[in-house]
Structure 1
Amino acid sequence: MDNEKKDSVIVTASDAVIDDFEGDEKQKLAEMRKHIEEIVLTETKENSDILDSRYSEFIISKISEMTAEEAMRILSEAVEYHKDDFNFPQESYEKIKVLLGGIEASGLEADIYDLELRVEASMIKHHSPYPEVRAVTDPVDDPNVPVETIRVYILGSIWVAIGAFINEMFDKRQPSLSLDSTVIQLLVYPCGRLCQYILPDWGFTFRGTRHSLNPGPWTYKEQMLVTVMVNVGANWSNFVSYAITMKLERFFNQQWVGFGFIFIMNFSTQFFGFGLAGLLRRWVVYPTKAMWPTILPTLALNRALLMPEKKQNIHGWTITRYKFFFYLFIGSFIYFWIPSVLFSALSIFNWITWISPTNVKLAIITGSFLGLGYNPITTFDWAVINYSKPLVVPFFSVANRYVGVLLGGILLMGCYWTNIRWTSYLPINTSSVYANDGTKYNISKVLNEDNTFNRTKYMEYSPPYITMGNLMNNAAGFALYTAVPFYILITEWNVIKEACVGFYKGIRSRNRGSAFGDFDDPMTRMMKVYPEVPDWWFMIILLLSLVLGIVGVAAFPTTTPVWSIIIIQIMGVAMMIPTAIVYSITGYQLGMHDLAVILAGYMVPQNGMANMMCRVYGYNVDDRAENYIADQKMAHYSKVPPRSIFRAQLWASLIQTFITIGAIQFLMDTVPDFCSLSQKNKFVCTFPNSLYADSLLYGVVGPVRTFNQTYPTLKYAFLIGPLAMIPFIILRKWGGNKFKYVHPVLILSGVQKWGTTYNLSYYTPGLYIGFAFMWYIRRYYLTWWTKYNYILTSGLTAGVAFSGILIFCSITISQSEINWWGNTVNSAGVDGARVATLHQLTEGETFGLKPGEYY
């Protein structure tokens, strides 16, 4: 039998068809059919009845159509493209290299070698090289499935409003809780199903297309579009945190900050991020390497809810994803009451400090509140364990960042014990700013009535001093600002260059309109049937939002020059490409906003408000824009039309702009002692406190005084950053795969995690969980991991979020308490008081620079 006929039989043959052949030919066909099933099952990470699905038949047909020559070409290109790809499975990479070595090198029979070669090539060409992505996406698409329906906008608007209000409130809590997309997906699904049964088939026809209230069954794409709306709109808004810092009496006490100003700036920053995100699609949405691991649980949950699933036996597990999610959700919902209400010591499990509660040194090293958190068992609370997203981001990311946190903590400890720059007179790891008598810095003592710097008052009072943790945070952050663009431009130069050329062509030729033509991966090929959103649409939104922001800055007493805002914007756009590339590959978002603080300190010296206004755009670049991009990638994986995503994101952002303002006003009006580090219900406002500290240090006092007088060595961190990258670049270029998973940017970003109210105790449990699931189980039980891992994190997170909301509404607001040892032991000692220092000041004693040493 010739090869063409044999391939046809292998692809289409049932056992009955194979029975038509006889003897050795029949046995050979059956063996090859079985082998190809095993290969496809392994590559798709599914089990049992997969070959009866549309998915498997598509893949097998492509295997049959592919020639050996084409397969060799595809695999050769893949080996080159993925040679330094952290997410590409190492075992698959080595297997491909063996296959490229030829039949003799593979040790396989000719027929089996040919099949193996074509299977590997087909999976890459027609689906995805990453098992994580193959687990939550399809290699086929049906453009006729309803997507942008009326009921999508109705449900999306409702849940955006609910999610935005709740998330804005709980973002100010530590640890924060959120009604994230995994939770809202669960709520949207029954609403969508209900709509398909109760809504009438009323509609209208527009431009040849009928739009109905009820076009039929609730679809997977409708679910995804609502999820994208919620993911964009039901997020906390960055500018309202700035509004808190501006308005509250404990911060800048600017009572003129009201609805009008907050709305203009909130609107401007939100839509500036949206416009910028659209322009960056060529760099971080369409490239295959831009895997975006953080969005995969969302895709997995939607598939569990809407995609039919056959009962399978995977390592003894037969439970469906749907049931598995709900069992986890219920269990997590019930259990969270224990560490949150009934036995809170299990949440912040600083058990080592219980040995000697008044021992300051023990609290500083092992404490979870005050200290560094060097403790092997720090929590039994999923809200704390999940802080580093250990079941979402790749384990190499978790491990690299943990190494950075660990090493940074050791360095921090050594500097603190030697009293570098008088830090031993202060707590070791907070973002607060202090005067030279150890009290919180009172900004009003060095300001004029117009909130500008008064040098005479400053000389009479004190320079601002920050903790050792905050110094570590600043030093690592400064190093990152120069290290990231240096490292990424060298290691990802080809990707950046090709995207820049494509962007220029797209802007130059408006009628060309689409970036899809520059990419030929499977996902993009499927998306080419839909009209793309032209780059100039996003450019218009970006420019309009910038103009509105400038109007807001100029119309209100912000004391901020317009030119300073424009410069910050240019800087932010330039930094966005390398940081977004890191985020899309590793799953970690790098905070690059502090660079705006320093530049503003030089451009508009001695002005805390101007410093805040410049920073808001610097922060927006590396936060809001990356969130929009991630959702565009999620739509890309789901084959949701680009223009549907464009309209949905715009509408969701508009709703969120209004709702978040109301939420933050509610908090400021109703929560006593709001944003205090000792706030009873943990509404400590980590980010607003950090904003205030940085604005004092680099805005009011200014970087000149900070770098030249108080902390003169800090400025050298900008030089250390790129210098530290050089050895890693050399290792990556000449060390081969031995050093593939060592990522210096992630290690440095781990060092930067100090100086907030978080410490090692929030990262250690994530390392354990990440190793167990994202390395060991993924490596040795890949079929189970692919089916259940993302459902596991979704179920646990959803249960915690729902439980946290109920606890807040029933227990927290009523200020009810359960007073017993399990709820007081972790806060009864020095660690719980959060004020202990290594060196104590006597009454009237001060530390730091003497009068005359600062000006």
Structure 2
Amino acid sequence: MATIEAKKGSFTEQKDAFADERGVELHEEEETENSSIEAVRIAVPITDDTSLVSVTFRFWVISAFLGALGATIQQYYAYRSASGTFSIFFVNLASFSIGKFLAQVLPTRSLSFFGHKFSLNPGPFNIKEHALIGISVSTAAGSAYATEILSATDLFLQDRVPAIGALLLIITTQCVGYGMAGSLRKYLVYPAEMVWWGNLVQVVFYNAIHNTDEFKNKRMVRGWSYMKFFWIVCGLIFLYQLLPQWLAPVLLYFDWVCWINPFNKNFWAIFSAISGGGVLSLSFDWSTIGGASLYYPLAPQLNSYLGMILNYWIILPIMWLNNILGTKTMGRPLTSKLFFDNGKRFDINTVLNDDHTLNDELYKAGPPANMSPLYALGFMTSFIALAGCVSHIVFFHGREILEQWKQASSQDAKQDIHSKMMKVYPEVPQLCSSIVTCEVYHLQLPWWGLLVSLALAWILTLPIGAMTAVTGYGPGLNVITELVCGYMLPGKPIANMAFKCYGYMAMYQATQLLGDLKLGHYMKIPPRSMFISQFWGTLIGAIFNYVTMTLIINSNRTYLDGTEDDPAGLWTGQGIQIFWGSGLIYGALGPARMFALDGKYGFVYLGFLIGLVVPAIQWALSKKFPKISWSKFNISIFAGGMGAFPAGYSMGILSSLITVLVFRFYLAKYHHSWWKKYAYITSAALDTGTAFTGLLIFLFLGGGISPKLNVNVPSWWFNHQSDNPDMPNYPYYQADRCGAADPTMWTGL
């Protein structure tokens, strides 16, 4: 595998090359120019060594290994009640160690591959090579959205897409945003105002670990070195996480209020984090909190958590206790399943044709299907979030974006130092995605439908990407794509899921790639190397997402399709059930039927009006009362928080909010020097240790390698299990020791 050679020389030595090759002349005063954003000035160096090679043999090997590992772990977490992450800091540390080792042991002699000479070991393991591995692995280490289509059709239609078709679906949906990301670079990557906050901690980490002298001079508590502090915190959280993740699942959802009256159905619905609102519920699992809470901007985080509190701690109890729109009829307040008026479960398979389209006559012959009112409210909040994002960006940042658009289109545009330094590297041509997968594998989505989904994504990626770059939060397109396709292709649930997947992923993948491009921008990695890295990660991730998905479905099918509840409360099909439920509502039954303006759920369309109007009112108030920071309230982020747990497992709200207030308010404001010194490294250590624990449990305790290695934890207070095989948590409903397993024990009905 060939390496790509970079141009030789430092940034200063290349200033004449800028003028010769790109038509840009740098004056002496511009060489000391820096970003207008203080955080970027602090975190990102303004030097670049263009002689460093980034795509090497070591890159291919390390990124493939860690990418496969990350894709496996993230796909595993997609079916778990706790949403863990494959920490990028774990990747950075592991790749650094492996890279250093390979730089010592690999031969340095040149080899020939199809007439092209390259070296297995082109020199010391360098910072650009290291960062490129991290970018590739971050592209691979996710649960591809297309696996939800594949899981839903397998679990609920007993129709497994062949392996080749499944891989094509995953790869095409993951790659569809590449072209958009390339085109939007000039608006969402190059301007200094587009920070992409999550990248700064990585830039600091990469530069710290590769700057040996500065790295060794950092001293933490008790005189520990920077890395000693990291490893101690990492090791402690690794051991601790075995409790909530394996030994004591009650700590994952510590529903202490529910224990006052555990068999009262109202207490259960309001205070249980597994089945209800999780009011005042605590979670002692770091994976439910996450390291970003230590350094993300305070205002967006508070917007999100206040939205959660409004929906799950105030609206949910009101709707449940008053049985508004038949909330109690559905059995639990948060569910994505459909029901008849009498509370009996609606089975879509009874009204589908052989090609999985709706048989309208069969459906009309029976009673209509209903959804949980709080699930319908989730659709409304999604509309608020999307409309609010566009409106907020237009009113509060529209002039800036318009100016950036004009500047980006001008050859004489003023750029910060990092944009100028990147001009030495050649660009990458744009790509297009294929229509073949939809046609060949009968996804019910015609070619023109695919084009509509991509056009919708193209229009909305700019405002969503801008908000994500500035605040760290941005809405998705999953619900609006369902709505549009539901009107275009009614009665076709698979088409609806495919339309949503392509439209949503085009936007989502574009924003992810834009974030990676900004990291490459900060690290001065050539764009073509970035493209190689991202595509390689996509390919690796697709393969291992599919393999892991298949293994987990085969071994946990009854827990994932809702036939049974996992007695330990660790395996769940909630995410897939939500995806499938949306496919039924928007695809099979159609929004014209389910959300008729004169019907039970017609209120959802008010979300568009609320999202558009609220930022306009804020903007008008900001002109009247300019001393108040009106823009800090973001209705889009607030509504996103309201819809954070559409089908339950609402744990971690209080624990996360406490963490944010301690680190991002108290410490950042009153002990700022301490916060600057410890926040980033502590966040990295906690996320890394948690990732190690998840890997250990998956591979060696949860049967990831072999079902024979599945270790069942003995029954004790924090992992309550009875001897009754039919009711493993008897007398409790689930592992949070809340709710009645025996229906005759319920009170407060």
* TM-score range normalised by the length of the shorter chain: 0.7 to 0.9
Q: In the alignment, residue 191 of structure 1 is paired with which amino acid? A: I
Question: Letter of the aligned partner of 1:455 in structure 2?
Answer: D
3-state SS of the aligned residue for 2:495?
Answer: helix
Match of 1:679 in 2: 566
1:668 Cα deviation (Å)? 2.0
| Whole-Å separation in 2 of the counterparts to 1:441 and 1:307 | 61
Residue 506 of structure 2 is aligned to residue 621 of structure 1: yes
| TM-score between both structures, scaled by the size of structure 2 | 0.86
In 1, the alpha carbon distance for the partners of 2:575 and 2:67 equals 23
**In 1, Cα distance between the equivalents of 2:334 and 2:738?**
10
1:406 and 1:161 mapped to 2: Cα distance? 37
1:437 counterpart = 2:342: yes
Aligned residue number for residue 745 of structure 1: 636
Query: Are 2:484 and 1:583 aligned?
Result: no
Q: 1:310 to 1:631 in 2, by over 3 A?
A: closer
Q: 1:282 aligns with which of 178, 186, 196?
A: 186
- Runs of 5+ in structure 1 lacking a partner? 1-57, 59-120, 506-511, 842-855
- Tell me which residue corresponds to 2:147: 240
Distance 2:54 2:617 in 1: 49
CA distance in 1, matches of 2:151, 2:227: 41
Write the distance in 2 (CA, Å) between the matches of 1:150 and 1:765.
44
Q: Deviations over 1:776-795 (max 9, x none)?
A: 22223333322321111111
User: How far does residue 318 in structure 1 lie from its aligned partner after superposition?
Assistant: 3.7
Amino acid at match of 1:822: F
Equivalent residue, structure 1, for 2:707:
none
Name the structure 2 match of 1:152.
59
2:358 corresponds to which of 442, 450, 453? 453
Larger Rg: 1 or 2? Answer: 1
CA contact (8 A) 1:288 1:521 kept: yes
Shift in Å at residue 399 of structure 1? Answer: 0.5
When structure 1 is superposed on structure 2, of 460-469 and 643-652 the one drifting more is: 460-469
* 1:401 corresponding residue in structure 2: 304
Report the Cα offset of residue 277 of structure 1: 1.7
Distance 1:554 1:297, change over 3 A: same
In structure 2, C-alpha distance between the alignment counterparts of 1:661 and 1:551, rounded to whole Å? 19
Alignment partner, residue 803 of structure 1: 693
* 2:401 paired with 1:496: yes
Report matched runs for 1:67-82 at 5 Å.
Answer: none
Cα 1:281–1:674, aligned 2, differ >3 Å: closer, same or farther?
farther
Aligned to 1:650: 535
Contact 2:253 2:736 in 1 (8 A): no
Report the counterpart of residue 701 of structure 1 in structure 2: 589
What's the TM-score, normalizing by structure 1? 0.76
Residue of structure 2 in register with 1:612 after alignment: 497
Pair 1:262 & 2:151 matched = no
**1:444 Cα offset (Å):** 0.8
Q: Given the superposition, is the C-alpha separation of residues 217 and 568 from structure 1 closer, same or farther in structure 2, using an over 3 Å criterion? A: same
Distance change in 2, residues 1:417/1:820 (3 Å) = same
The within-5 A match list for 1:49-448 is 125-127=33-35, 129-131=37-39, 133-203=40-110, 211-248=118-155, 251-255=156-160, 257-308=161-212, 309=214, 318-375=223-280, 378-386=282-290, 389-409=292-312, 410-426=314-330, 427-448=332-353
Pair 480,179 (structure 1): closer, same or farther in 2 beyond 3 Å: closer
Q: Following the alignment from structure 1 to structure 2, what is the Cα–Cα distance between the partners of residues 651 and 347?
A: 35
> Hey, what's the Cα distance between the residues in 2 that align with 1:128 and 1:325?
31
Per-residue CA deviation, residues 288-325 of structure 1 (Å, 9 max, x unaligned), is: 22211223333333334322225668796643322221
C-alpha displacement at 1:554, in angstroms?
1.7
Once the two structures are TM-superposed, the CA of residue 577 in structure 1 deviates from its matched residue by: 0.9
| Deviation for aligned residue 1:332 | 0.9
Indicate the residue corresponding to 1:786 in structure 2: 676
1:397 maps to amino acid: P
Q: 1:591 to 1:177 in 2, by over 3 A?
A: same
Residues 569-578 or 281-290, more deviating: 281-290
Aligned to 1:527: 422
The CA distance in 2 between the partners of 1:628 and 1:471, in whole Å, is 32
Identity %: 26
Instruction: Spell out, residue by residue over 1:733-777, the C-alpha distance to the aligned partner (whole angstroms, 9 max, x if none).
Output: 443352242222211222222423242x32221111112112222
Give a deviation string over 1:220-247, Cα, whole Å, max 9, x none. 1111011011011222211111111122
Displacement of 1:179 in angstroms is 2.3
Whether contact under 8 Å (1:432, 1:689) holds in the other structure is yes
Cα–Cα, structure 1 residues 764 and 563, in superposed 2: closer, same or farther, change >3 Å? same
Tell me how far apart the structure 1 counterparts of residues 368 and 592 of structure 2 sit (CA, whole Å): 12
Q: CA deviation at 1:674?
A: 4.5
| SS of residue matched to 2:436 | helix
Alpha-carbon distance, 1:594 to partner: 0.8
Give the aligned CA root-mean-square deviation in angstroms.
3.0
CA positional deviation for 1:168? 1.8
The Cα shift of 1:705 comes to: 0.9
- Rounded to whole Å, the distance in 2 between the matches of 1:289 and 1:606 is 44
Alignment check: 8 A CA contact 2:263 2:738 kept: no
Residue of structure 1 equivalent to 2:747: none
- Aligned in 2, Cα 1:394/1:475: closer, same or farther, shift over 3 Å? same
Taking a change above 3 Å as real, the CA distance of residues 716 and 674 of structure 1, as seen in their structure-2 partners, is same
CA distance in 2, matches of 1:735, 1:633: 35
Cα distance between partner residues in 1 of 2:669 and 2:446: 55
Query: Does the CA contact (< 8 Å) of 2:329 and 2:341 recur in 1?
Result: no
Structure 2 CA distance for partners of 1:606 and 1:313, relative to 1, 3 Å: closer
**Residues 502-530 of structure 1 deviation map (CA, whole Å, 9 limit, x = unaligned):** 6767xxxxxx8xxxx63411322332332
Whole-angstrom CA distance in 1 between matches of 2:130 and 2:691: 20
Contact 2:491 2:588 in 1 (8 A): yes
Name 1:757's counterpart in structure 2. Answer: 648
Deviations 1:712-742 (CA, angstroms, capped at 9, x unpaired) = 2222322232122222222344433522422
Cα separation, 2, equivalents of 1:746 and 1:827: 40
* 1:490-639 correspondence runs (5 A): 490-501=395-406, 518-533=413-428, 537-538=429-430, 541=431, 543=432, 545=433, 548=434, 550-639=435-524
How many angstroms apart in 2 are the aligned matches of 1:139 and 1:518? Answer: 20
Q: Deviations over 1:590-619 (max 9, x none)?
A: 222211101111001111121112111122
Corresponding position: 1:817 with 2:707: no
> Are the structure 2 counterparts of residues 313 and 277 from structure 1 closer, same or farther at C-alpha, using a change threshold of 3 Å?
closer
- Indicate how the Cα distance of structure 1 residues 346 and 226 shifts in structure 2: closer, same or farther if over 3 A, else same: same
Cα distance 1:827–1:411, how it changes in 2: closer, same or farther (>3 A)? farther
Amino acid corresponding to residue 519 of structure 2 in structure 1: M
Distance 1:164 1:467, change over 3 A: same
SS in 1 for 2:368: coil
Q: Deviations over 1:686-730 (max 9, x none)?
A: 332111111111111111111223422222322232122222222
Report the equivalent of 1:849: none
- Separation in structure 2 between the aligned mates of residue 472 and residue 797 of structure 1, nearest angstrom: 33
Say how many residue pairs are matched.
694
- Look up the equivalent residue of 1:429 and give its one-letter code: L
Deviates more, 1:194-203 or 1:825-834: 825-834
Quick one: structure 1 residues 265 and 191, their matched pair in 2 at CA, closer, same or farther if it must change by over 3 Å?
same
